[in-house]
A = this chain, B = another copy of it.
């Protein structure tokens, strides 16, 4: 019943076997500053016996005594969402060489349990917090509690439109601009839009970027060709919405030669609708998505999309948190959101309209 930790070799065991004191062993095994004054032979010997005995330091004990957990909490909103997952990979990669370990907590898109997860992270004494949010994440008040302790926290992936929370996001405005520019340059003029939910600032910024492009190029964006999806809590609702709203657009009998979707899943819904209507992508209608999720490259036709540099976003967030964790709480000078540039990935779902 009692699964004794005593199965494990401890530092004291090593010390006894090697014939030195625990302190010396600790110092040697950690390459602590004081290790410079330890005889080379001793070091050698200690290292060998440690390995021979199969010694592995106990993380809890170490963390307890040293008052540093060497961990960064990562609160992720849906581990089965490739968007979150790619950011996560960026985080892991940047953490890899630092000696810090990510402690990953998956909220399963459940906003209610948020506080609970946050608590678990705090109990683990993580030294910083990265929140990886997808578009389903609605802002909660919980983070303010943390912020008031000036705990190093950063949100990555979602534009919360909140100036007290540091975040790393893609430049949504530029992305919207670029998407429309791509279609415009191909020669499209009658363009339909399936936008994200009303309150979603990501969606609004993208739309703003598109309107900016339009007004700069005297392109009229006919409101009758614009659809907006409802706020949703289901991860796959984007597909359904894309499908339905595109059907709606199609039924309206208003001609369009291209469609801009809120994101890739929405775009795939649109492709489905167009195809089911007996039309073809891109021959009859071009479609462009947003994100460059892994889906985009592998479907046929491969989806043209505006890429969010998710790994980079993860890396930037990590760099900031690490710095903040090491600098101390004083230094939290609340800079504005960090925005990374999107890139249009031109693939097979867009082409010039046939005359």
Contacts and interface: CB of A to CB of B under 8 A. Distances in A.
Interface of A: 1-5, 7-8, 56-61, 63-64, 67-69, 79-80, 82, 85-86, 88-89, 92-93, 101-104, 106, 108, 119-120, 122-125, 127, 149, 236, 239, 265, 268-269, 271-272, 275, 294-295, 297-302, 325, 328-329
A291 to B, nearest CB: 13
Most chain B CB atoms below 10 A, which of A1, A123, A269: A123
Given A268-B298, A298-B268, A325-B3, A125 B85 contact: no
Contacts of A120: 101
A103 B59 CA distance: 13
Given A58-B123, A122-B56, A295-B295, A68 B3 contact: yes
A59 B124 contact: yes
A64 B8 CA distance: 13
Most chain B CB atoms below 10 A, which of A63, A127, A298: A298
16 contacts: A3-B68, A3-B329, A5-B67, A60-B124, A80-B294, A89-B106, A89-B108, A236-B298, A268-B299, A268-B300, A269-B298, A272-B298, A272-B300, A295-B298, A299-B299, A299-B300
A333 to B, nearest CB: 17
A231 to B, nearest CB: 21
Contact of A295 (B7, B119, B299): B299
Contacts of A124: 59-60
Nearest to A2: B67
A278 to B, nearest CB: 13
Given A59-B124, A89-B106, A268-B300, 5 more contacts: A3-B329, A56-B123, A85-B85, A93-B108, A272-B300
